[in-house]
A and B are shown apart, each in its own frame.
Chain A
């Protein structure tokens, strides 16, 4: 009986030592891993700032209208490999406040190339991968001398309408110039 008891006690001791040995295998290591997790929530968003209203002096034939002020600011949660395009369109004519049937025609040029009325042209871009924001400032309004000469006196206005959208892909023009946007 004593032998059996002694055998069982030895067995129990051995088992106990084994459990201890297994538990101690990870503890003394000088390396290890710990998982870090986070969840980002929220839709993509950004702020578009457009240039201030502007007055063109009488008989001025060429006037910059963007002046580096078309900015895409405070981008949040913008997916990788995507671009925010800010675009503008114009009507091609100023209208007289007192009589909108009277007009003063103009051309809008972007980087020396004429942009037709109603055609969208990119005025500013933000690229998600580089966090780079590019404003295009070589956008100007040209009113010819003959247009000035042909218009009646009075105050004329025209809207330049800006919009922006998130598009997939890094639309980074090699020449840095704004391009017409596909309708």
Chain B
């Protein structure tokens, strides 16, 4: 009997994992020509009871100086500003950032210039170990009831990219978003 209990528990876990995987793919229905069945996708959102409102102050544009890693620039910190309400214990606002690593020439968007962002805390003068992955979200700011922490990256262009790029002005975009995170989910 003692051996059976762990087996049953493991089986239950596997079955629940299986149904969770099915749920993640959404519902499905087999239709025939005259079938009028409908399927519902439920969209849910939660507004916290303490109704805190905030906005992000996005730093001004960053201009990377020509000349390889020595031209690196501080992207500068995004700032989380509370408009109304107060964060409670267990609540925090996280600001995150993504980038695609590409600037395009302002007069010809088919011409591109690659750039990288490096984690400032790991930056050691242009080593790819400190480079942030493109398309991946990184937390660059956290605000709690008592504290704010920010960690803007550096931006720079590899020497080889400078050399290969046609002359002109290039521009790219760093995307920021923020969300309220509650300890109890």
Contact = CB atoms under 8 A, between A and B. Distances in A.
A56 interface: yes
Contact of B180 (A48, A59, A69, A154): A59
| 4 tightest Cβ-Cβ pairs between the two chains A and B | A153-B49, A52-B26, A159-B40, A56-B45
A175 interface: no
Given A48-B31, A50-B27, A161-B41, 8 more contacts: A44-B32, A45-B31, A53-B44, A59-B54, A154-B46, A158-B42, A160-B42, A163-B39
A115 interface: no
16 contacts: A43-B32, A45-B33, A46-B30, A50-B41, A52-B41, A55-B43, A58-B48, A60-B179, A69-B26, A73-B28, A94-B45, A104-B45, A153-B47, A153-B48, A157-B42, A161-B38
B107 interface: no
Interface string A104-116: 1000000000000
B25 interface: yes
A69 B44 contact: no
A157 B36 CA distance: 24
Interface string B15-31: 00000000111111111
B63 interface: no
B102 to A, nearest CB: 21
B28 A157 contact: no
B25 to A, nearest CB: 6
A50 B43 CA distance: 13
The main secondary structure of chain B at its interface with chain A is strand
Contacts of A155: 44-46
Nearest to A42: B32
B184 interface: no
A44 B33 contact: yes
B43 A65 contact: yes
Contacts of A158: 42-43
A52 B23 CA distance: 6
